[in-house]
Amino acid sequence: MTGLRVVESATQPTRTSVERCQVLGVLNVTPDSFSDGGRFVSLAAAVARGIELVRQGADIVDVGGESTRPGAVRVDEAEEARRVIPVIHALSAAGVRVSVDTMRASVAEQALDAGAVMVNDVSGGLADPAMLPLIAASRTRCVLMHWRAHSEVMDAFADYHAVVDEVGVELSMRVDAAFAAGVRADSIVLDPGLGFAKSAAHNWSLLAGLPVLRDLGFPLLIGASRKRFLADCVDHGGLAADSPLDRDDASSAVAALAAAGGAWGVRVHAVAPAAAAVRVASRIAAAGTGGR
């Protein structure tokens, strides 16, 4: 990210000057997330994990208090805020750059007040009509993801004739809605929403179509980490395709390819290998353009 604020603290490693894809480390403070639910539900465990993610190479820690796995049932607003706000406040006070993963404007507002620097809305502003006006008023960076329905029913909406084109059109509609609400163009990051109302074939097509999505003219965030479509690649080394943790190698491969393809950021659970992957991609890109 241009103009990355470097916080000099024990939790923030020194950055190089090479421009590269950003690494968002996933911190789920939920009991029911698909791969790590229940591991970081206490404040102490969550804060320790967030600091660990930065030490492993995360540029931003993405804190979420509501599972969006397929079939997940929504938690109420008060419970979501109870889970995430103390964690964001503590991590921000420790010098960690934090984003909040929420579809609720009220939670996003509290998170920004607690020190968050970005809002990651998987609904792209569709779930809460107050979200885009909040983003505009706060002038904060936001991620607008492609989304068609809540997790309980989203698989029923995985119907496309040309998934890359349709996702591109629907993301453009979210950009138009953001502009209409007063959101600045330089605040917007787009996410094609891998795994959200998408089949495995749709996800692979979207990754192959990354150049088309880049032509929308906005930074792209890719969130493939540990998702079930990566089970297609877990057929070696005695790994278990149905284990999300055994998809980490495939997740890091996607991170490398996304970074090489010009993605602004990757959202990952296993930060250290993804951090290495995006650095390799940036070095190769620099060498290919005559950099040193």
pLDDT per residue as tens digits for the range 127-171: 999 999 999 999 999 999 999 988 788 989 999 999 999 999 999
Element (H, E) at 268: strand 265-268
Catalytic residues: 227, 267
Low-confidence ranges of the chain (pLDDT < 70): 1-18, 32-38, 290-292
- Structural domain including 272 reads 22-287
Query: Under a CB-based contact definition with an 8 Å cutoff, are residues 152 and 71 in contact?
Result: yes
Would you state the structure tokens that stand for residue 102, as one six-digit string? 């929420």
pLDDT at position 238: 82
pLDDT at position 84: 96
pTM of the model: 0.88
Asked if residue 2 is part of any domain, the answer here is: no
Burial 107-137, CB ≥16 within 10 A → b, else e: bbbbbbebbbbbbbbbbbbbbbeebbbbbbe
Asked if residue 213 is part of any domain, the answer here is: yes
Asked if residue 173 is part of any domain, the answer here is: yes
Asked if residue 46 is part of any domain, the answer here is: yes
Fill in the DSSP letter of residue 229.
G
SS3 85: helix
Name residue, tokens 């609720």.
104
Determine how many CB atoms are found less than 10 A away from the CB of residue 167.
26
Please state the domain count of the chain: 1
Asked if residue 6 is part of any domain, the answer here is: no
pLDDT at position 32: 55
CA-based radius of gyration for the chain: 18
Specify the CATH number for the domain of residue 164: 3.20.20.20
Asked if residue 4 is part of any domain, the answer here is: no
Q: 88 vs 43, 107, 199, 265, CA distance in Å?
A: 10, 11, 33, 20
Fill in the DSSP letter of residue 6.
P
Would you state the structure tokens that stand for residue 9, as one six-digit string? 């603290």
Would you state the structure tokens that stand for residue 46, as one six-digit string? 């969550």
Q: 63 vs 146, 164, 168, CA distance in Å?
A: 19, 28, 26
Around 118, how many Cα atoms within 13 Å sit in the side-chain half-sphere?
28
CA dist 143 and 151 (Å) reads 18
Asked if residue 292 is part of any domain, the answer here is: no
Amino acid at 172: S
Nearest to 98 by CA among 75, 124, 116: 116
Nearest to 62 by CA among 8, 143, 132: 143
